[in-house]
Structure 1
Amino acid sequence: MTNPTTSKRALSRRTLLTGAGAALGALGGVTGARALGTGQTAGPAAAATPTQPSTAPAGFASFAWLGTSGWRIRTPTTTVLLDPYVTRFGTGLAAGKFSATTRLRVDPAALDAALGSPGTQEGAVDSILVTHTHWDHFADVPHLARTRGATVFTTLTGYHLALAMGVPQKQLAVVRGGEEMHLGDLVMRVVPALHSRTASGALLFPGMRTTVPTRPRTIADLPEGDTLSYLLRSPQGRSVLLLGGSDYDDQALRGLRVDTVALPVPSTDVTADYAGRLLVALDGPGRVVLVHWDDFESPLINPPLASAGTRDRMTRLTEQIRRLSPGTEVVVPEYRTPLQLL
């Protein structure tokens, strides 16, 4: 795996700006992973293989993808979750029969299997970072906070929703963007972000909660409530930017030193120059890890499932990143497989 602290960034802002509008050529593969073409889906013979260390991670922090935009990050002293969504119940989305009235539910057994049981060393969680409060990012957070005693960093909307879902106030920390604070042996910077849009430019379940609502019962009761991203730094100065939705404020990203970015794969083309603007703002990060491309209504079983259309988008996004920033490594993760990102 390319070391993001030593790899040479092979582009400048001018190079990126010149290349950002270029047409995509032939489909290219993911560095360290097998690219999938149109019509292929995940399966034993067609699964993307993530770039992985040849031995167990020996760096400062181990990152394990939990599907969608979720992560478990472990350092020598600290365990942090970002957008952990493990229950993964059906909403009719995959079948083209999406229902906004789908009831929320939590599967404690699935959470314990993926993250370890409460009260054990394996299941300990110090902090939970929330990028936004849609169900596929937030639905499991209140249960995890109540059972693990973790502090939840979230928006004002997330604060009110969490209170309504039984999380003690003392475990909730409201952040807005710009904060920089210690999380055990990590340093966290909260970065303002944006949520992706539908093909028409609309936002799914928009809105905020400025007071404590009645307890949410359906997925529509969990609005977006603003979106954040989180930059984590190790004591050695390496950094990872974790995005939760497939859009961002490139002005908020300028000047950040980022070795790795976890980048959601967009489901539409409504966001202009999605890869190009990001690479310009971050001066070509050493590594991009593609997230939020899996079928998040299926269990956390490898290889992750994704539609043929999504696989095609992943391949085209990878090709664009490699054209605009040849020195950037693109990684396709598998569930709960350790990656050395710090």
Structure 2
Amino acid sequence: MRGSLAGAAAVVAGAQSSAVAHGTLRRGAGTGLRWFGVNSWELSFDGRTVLIDPWLTRFSTRGPDGRFDPATPLSVDRATIGRNLGAADLVLVTHGHYDHMGDVPHVMERFPGARVVATQTHAHLLTAMGAPADRIIWAHGGEYLDLDGFTVQVLPSLHSLSTGYRYFAPGTLTAPPRRVHTVADLVEGGTLAYLVTTGSGLRVLNIGTANLIERELRGLRPDVAIVAVPAGRHTHRYLERLLDALGAPPLVVPTHHDAMDTPLDRPVRADADALRSFRDTVHRVNPRATVVEPRYLEAVTL
């Protein structure tokens, strides 16, 4: 998948490359995209690096009985982060769960110039974890940030629904907690989505959870839509509604579809049926779309 987007698309069975052939994405020449699993992404362009939910530690949260253990201690794999992240100017946090925000304080420590966009709850959690408060940009959703050469639109969003139509580890904070030691301490704290527009005009959207607020997405028309693979059937026609609201984006990339408790050097991907269903849905809504399934650590040039 290294090299041109056309080359990347060619390895995807059944993918349509018309968006590339018609030049829809050529204005983004030189923009790089890398996936670290879950919803962890690196977007590089014009000498800038934007990270989305950078979580590379990927530890197991299973207890002795094989079930999820909310008392699992938080940990940071500094070596893996050091090997794989070379720069960061901005970090975008979609929500506060451990698999999205657990490594962010260390990323801020490693890259002292990096700022973070996050909700009030996320900011309080990060501060309790030792992150410098003056480098956190508080966001509610609706902000349109001018970042000297590129922009970020912050969009209100929703977390995926789980069994019983419930949200996983919900919660909000109005002050930093006394301690953040376990995965249960990292509550959702609100969910955001992001539209990054590079200096060349390429528009890259990230929706890291399988849910949406349709009215917040209408009219955005991103060139690249990185969207979570549907999680169950609790949200009615999530993917179809999302693609319709976005105006059928020409390039669609699945995210948050792998087994997230395996090391980055030995990852386990989602089952083929889930990805096949994702591709089929995208092409049913927009037969001309290109679907690119990311491979761990391999760069795609847009």
TM-score computed with the length of structure 2 as normaliser: 0.88
Quote the offset at 1:31 in angstroms. Answer: 7.1
In the alignment, is the contact (CA less than 8 A) between 1:231 and 1:239 conserved in 2?
Answer: yes
Matched residue of 1:133: which SS? coil
Deviation digits for residues 3-48 of structure 1 (CA, Å, limit 9, x no counterpart): 7xxxxxxxxxxxxxxxxxxxxxxxxxx974258xxxxxxxxxxxxx
2: CA distance, partners of 1:184 / 1:66: 27
Quote the offset at 1:184 in angstroms. Answer: 4.2
1: CA distance, partners of 2:87 / 2:130: 19
The structure-2 alpha-carbon separation of the partners of 1:60 and 1:181, relative to structure 1 and needing over 3 Å to count, comes to farther
Letter in 2 for 1:141: V
The aligned counterpart of 2:275 is 314
2: CA distance, partners of 1:316 / 1:153: 32
Correspondent of 1:147 among 100, 110, 129: 110
Quote the offset at 1:335 in angstroms. Answer: 1.2
Deviation digits for residues 248-286 of structure 1 (CA, Å, limit 9, x no counterpart): 111100111211110111221111111210111011000
The aligned counterpart of 1:26 is none
The structure-2 alpha-carbon separation of the partners of 1:182 and 1:340, relative to structure 1 and needing over 3 Å to count, comes to farther
The structure-2 alpha-carbon separation of the partners of 1:215 and 1:34, relative to structure 1 and needing over 3 Å to count, comes to farther
Structure 1 unaligned regions, length at least 5: 4-29, 36-51, 53-57, 116-122
The aligned counterpart of 1:125 is 88
2: CA distance, partners of 1:314 / 1:301: 21
Query: In the alignment, is residue 327 of structure 1 matched against residue 268 of structure 2?
Result: no
2: CA distance, partners of 1:166 / 1:326: 47
2: CA distance, partners of 1:64 / 1:277: 26
The aligned counterpart of 2:227 is 263
Quote the offset at 1:145 in angstroms. Answer: 0.8
Correspondent of 2:181 among 194, 201, 217: 217
Q: Which has the higher contact order (CA 8 A, sep 6+)?
A: 1
Quote the offset at 1:77 in angstroms. Answer: 2.4
2: CA distance, partners of 1:225 / 1:339: 31
In the alignment, is the contact (CA less than 8 A) between 2:5 and 2:300 conserved in 1?
Answer: no
For residues 181-196 of structure 1, the aligned pairs below 5 Å read 181-196=145-160
Structure 1 vs Structure 2 CA RMSD: 2.1
Matched residue of 1:159: which SS? helix
In the alignment, is the contact (CA less than 8 A) between 1:78 and 1:183 conserved in 2?
Answer: no
Structure 2 unaligned regions, length at least 5: 15-19, 21-27
1: CA distance, partners of 2:10 / 2:95: 30
Quote the offset at 1:289 in angstroms. Answer: 0.2
2: CA distance, partners of 1:68 / 1:184: 29
TM-score computed with the length of structure 1 as normaliser: 0.78
For residues 284-323 of structure 1, the aligned pairs below 5 Å read 284-301=248-265, 304-308=267-271, 311-323=272-284
In the alignment, is the contact (CA less than 8 A) between 2:57 and 2:264 conserved in 1?
Answer: no
2: CA distance, partners of 1:183 / 1:63: 19
Same amino acid, percent of matched pairs: 36
The structure-2 alpha-carbon separation of the partners of 1:307 and 1:253, relative to structure 1 and needing over 3 Å to count, comes to closer
Quote the offset at 1:298 in angstroms. Answer: 1.1
For residues 165-204 of structure 1, the aligned pairs below 5 Å read 165-204=129-168
Correspondent of 2:209 among 245, 254, 268: 245
Query: In the alignment, is residue 70 of structure 1 matched against residue 2 of structure 2?
Result: no
The aligned counterpart of 1:33 is 12
In the alignment, is the contact (CA less than 8 A) between 1:77 and 1:185 conserved in 2?
Answer: no
Deviation digits for residues 87-128 of structure 1 (CA, Å, limit 9, x no counterpart): 1110018x841111111011111110111xxxxxxx231111
Quote the offset at 1:336 in angstroms. Answer: 1.6
Deviation digits for residues 202-228 of structure 1 (CA, Å, limit 9, x no counterpart): 111001111110121110000011000
2: CA distance, partners of 1:202 / 1:75: 38
In the alignment, is the contact (CA less than 8 A) between 2:46 and 2:199 conserved in 1?
Answer: no
The aligned counterpart of 1:337 is 298
1: CA distance, partners of 2:41 / 2:176: 28
Matched residue of 2:151: which SS? strand
